[in-house]
A and B are shown apart, each in its own frame.
Chain A
Amino acid sequence: MTPLGELTIKKFHDGLLEKKFSALEVTQAFFRHIKETDAAIGAYLSLNEEAAIKEAEAVDLAVAKDEPQGVLAGVPLAIKDNILIKGLPATAASKILENYTASYDAGVIQKLKAEKAVFLGKTNLDEFAMGASTENSGFQLTKNPHDPERVPGGSSGGSAVAVAAHMALAALGSDTGGSIRQPAAFCGVVGLKPTYGAVSRSGLIAMASSLDQIGPITKTVEDAAILFKAIAGRDQVDATNAGIEYGDELTEPGLESIKQLTVGLPEEYFIEGLDGEVRRGVELAIEKIKSLGLKFKKISLPHTKYALSCYYIIVPAEVSANLARFDGIRYSRTSNLKPKTLNLKEIYLKQRGEGFGAESKRRIILGTFVLSSGYYDAYYEKAQRVRALIRQDFKNAFKEVDVILAPVTPTPAFKIGEKISDPLSMYLSDVFTVPINLAGLPSVSIPVKKYHYPNQTMDSTLQSNSGQASSPRKELPVGFQLIGKHFREGDILGLGRYYEKLN
């Protein structure tokens, strides 16, 4: 069988139809590999083995009958544990939901089930997707497969690691302020944050509803386009869903039209604090894209420096409202309290006090504060006005350029424990990703630097097929992001696709 590390969605689909392997064989190989490696890495919170095997067998039966198969049929996926799959746990990595079982399928899961995708399990995240390192999980740490002393990024750390360490063919994450793109960059995989309203949020446990979007984490830009096309589109139960149906521009971009795009370089993203490795990586990406014949132009997004403050007011405000539903009664009970002796308010105080982790409590209280009488205008409403300025920056820039190229993160993956005790320094790792969410734009994070796994954790069957000898030196991946106009995922994925073909 093809080694798991060499498979992409496209290669899996071709191999399945050519009967090189069965969906069952590949699914079982993934579970074997997960059981061998994940204890040391911690990507998954729960596995879905029994159902996954059945789903794979059903695909094999259909292939045997020569029934036509969609490109996602039998594709083994990892799903972030804040996305509901009926009958499976959905904890959002929070103790307050540790006993909760999802009672319906998220909109994206309904679409993927219709495509006959296979769900391997649910992946770790920062509690309720609040964080940039997956260290805020209520259950476990997830380690960066390139260096186990470093974080995988967050909040979709488990999903990014599952893909990077070949424990899933592709994955779904969610991105509120960088939670798909930043872990993708830290782990050396591709991550797409779609335009706000492109993908249904139904069944995504809400963190900040005006910013959250579900998106794919994959090995290639081509795979990201395939998976995004499958999950995008109308869902009647999400009133913020724009109902846009995408076409072949996602999966079959034309080189001539991509060459016509003008790429903007925002001066505010190439600041002094940018790590040298990241800067060199982004410069390399620029050179390569120039070799395709695209024009570049310097642009300015003058309100960039205010985006973090704006984001960290708006998000806690929405968090304090969204997390009010977790009362320790409706979705699970988190401890052995004796309810007979406590009244309802005491139950709430205790359940929420014990059930939420430190970052969730910090944001709920901060959000309660910025929305409170006397402070609402100075904080929340002010932030909403600044948000409009940030969106206007991008509108102005997109009059001159079609796509914006920028770093994803100021540094490569940082050490476990390095930032967890200082919330502000953790928030600063989101500096290049939050403005895109505030403006509701699509952005794809693409790896730029080649890397090698450290030898000692290398599974010989999973060596990359790059043809290069593996090096004992640990090298961390670096990525860059391509930001597009609203609902123009075709531009950034198309350009990313041709960039990818250069390598």
Chain B
Amino acid sequence: MPSPIDKKSLERLAELARIELDPKEEERLLQDLPKILDYFKELQELDTSNVEPMAGSTTLKNAFRDDDASEKTNLRAGVEQFPETENGFLKIPPVFE
């Protein structure tokens, strides 16, 4: 069976993940990923039809915090970390042509 990851599908995945790959990286991934996926095949030996998928490590339900007012002191911190700002607004490159 051909590997589900080939050059075309890798380029599509990289675009979806917003990662630019150079040709050398592509070559490496085209070697590594099929091997890793091949290793995963062992899971198919297991019959899991009656097993509920486990989505996380906790059995907590409705973990709410107290409904108290609190003063946050790092209100501007996210803005300060931004590479370019003007009057407290964030500057980013154009989204559309």
Bits for A315-340, please: 1 = Cβ < 8 Å to B, else 0: 00000100010010111110000011
Bits for B28-65, please: 1 = Cβ < 8 Å to A, else 0: 11001101100110111010100111111110100101
Q: Verify A343–B81 contact, CB threshold 8 A.
A: no
Which residues of chain A from 184 to 218 have a CB within 8 Å of any chain B CB?
A: 196-197, 209-211
Closest approach, in angstroms, between the C-beta of A193 and any C-beta of chain B? 12
Q: Verify B52–A388 contact, CB threshold 8 A.
A: yes
Q: Verify B17–A104 contact, CB threshold 8 A.
A: no
User: Which of B16, B48, B81 meets A368, CB within 8 Å?
Assistant: B16
Q: Give Cα A384–Cα B56 distance, bound, in whole angstroms.
A: 9
Q: Verify A329–B83 contact, CB threshold 8 A.
A: yes
A286 within 8 A of B: no
User: Which of A356, A366, A385, A427 meets B52, CB within 8 Å?
Assistant: A385
Residues on A with C-beta less than 8 A from B80 are 103
Q: Is the interface of A mostly helix, strand, loop or mixed?
A: helix
Closest approach, in angstroms, between the C-beta of B88 and any C-beta of chain A? 15
Residues on A with C-beta less than 8 A from B78 are 103, 330
Q: Give Cα A424–Cα B40 distance, bound, in whole angstroms.
A: 11
Residues on B with C-beta less than 8 A from A361 are 19, 21, 25, 29
Q: Verify A210–B56 contact, CB threshold 8 A.
A: yes
Closest approach, in angstroms, between the C-beta of B72 and any C-beta of chain A? 9
Closest approach, in angstroms, between the C-beta of A317 and any C-beta of chain B? 11
A423 within 8 A of B: yes
User: Which of A347, A354, A365, A388 meets B14, CB within 8 Å?
Assistant: A365
Closest approach, in angstroms, between the C-beta of A167 and any C-beta of chain B? 29
Contacts A344-B93, A349-B20, A366-B36 given: A382-B57 contact, CB under 8 Å? no
Q: Give Cα A379–Cα B95 distance, bound, in whole angstroms.
A: 34
Q: Verify B77–A210 contact, CB threshold 8 A.
A: no
Residues on A with C-beta less than 8 A from B60 are 197, 239-240, 242
Residue of B nearest to A349 (CB): B20
Q: Give Cα A308–Cα B14 distance, bound, in whole angstroms.
A: 24
Contacts A313-B40, A389-B46, A423-B32 given: A329-B92 contact, CB under 8 Å? yes
B23 within 8 A of A: no
Bits for A100-116, please: 1 = Cβ < 8 Å to B, else 0: 11011000000000000
User: Which of B16, B25, B42, B51 meets A388, CB within 8 Å?
Assistant: B51
Q: Verify B93–A385 contact, CB threshold 8 A.
A: no
Residues on A with C-beta less than 8 A from B16 are 368, 372
B97 within 8 A of A: yes
Interface size on A, residues (CB 8 A): 71
Residue of A nearest to B4 (CB): A375
Closest approach, in angstroms, between the C-beta of B84 and any C-beta of chain A? 8
A353 within 8 A of B: yes
Q: Verify A384–B53 contact, CB threshold 8 A.
A: yes
A362 within 8 A of B: yes
Residues on A with C-beta less than 8 A from B35 are 424
Q: Verify A379–B28 contact, CB threshold 8 A.
A: no
Q: Verify B10–A330 contact, CB threshold 8 A.
A: no
B86 within 8 A of A: no
Closest approach, in angstroms, between the C-beta of A212 and any C-beta of chain B? 10
A387 within 8 A of B: yes
Q: Verify B13–A365 contact, CB threshold 8 A.
A: yes
Contacts A365-B29, A384-B53 given: A345-B82 contact, CB under 8 Å? no
Closest approach, in angstroms, between the C-beta of A333 and any C-beta of chain B? 4
Please indicate which of the listed interface residues B5, B16, B40, B54 has the most CB atoms of chain A within 10 Å of its own CB. Answer: B54
Q: Give Cα A29–Cα B95 distance, bound, in whole angstroms.
A: 53
Please indicate which of the listed interface residues A342, A365, A381 has the most CB atoms of chain B within 10 Å of its own CB. Answer: A365
Q: Verify A343–B58 contact, CB threshold 8 A.
A: no
Q: Verify B77–A103 contact, CB threshold 8 A.
A: yes
List 24 A–B pairs whose Cβ atoms lie within 8 Å, in order of A's numbering. Answer: A103-B81, A196-B57, A197-B58, A211-B57, A237-B65, A240-B60, A242-B58, A242-B60, A303-B46, A309-B42, A312-B39, A320-B17, A329-B83, A333-B83, A339-B93, A340-B93, A352-B17, A361-B19, A362-B29, A362-B32, A366-B33, A368-B13, A368-B16, A385-B52
| B→A interface (CB under 8 Å) | 4-5, 9-10, 13-22, 25, 28-29, 32-33, 35-36, 39-40, 42-44, 46, 48, 51-58, 60, 63, 65-66, 74, 77-78, 80-83, 92-97
- Kindly list the 4 A-B residue pairs having the minimum CB-CB distance in the complex, ordered from nearest: A103-B77, A353-B20, A384-B53, A440-B57
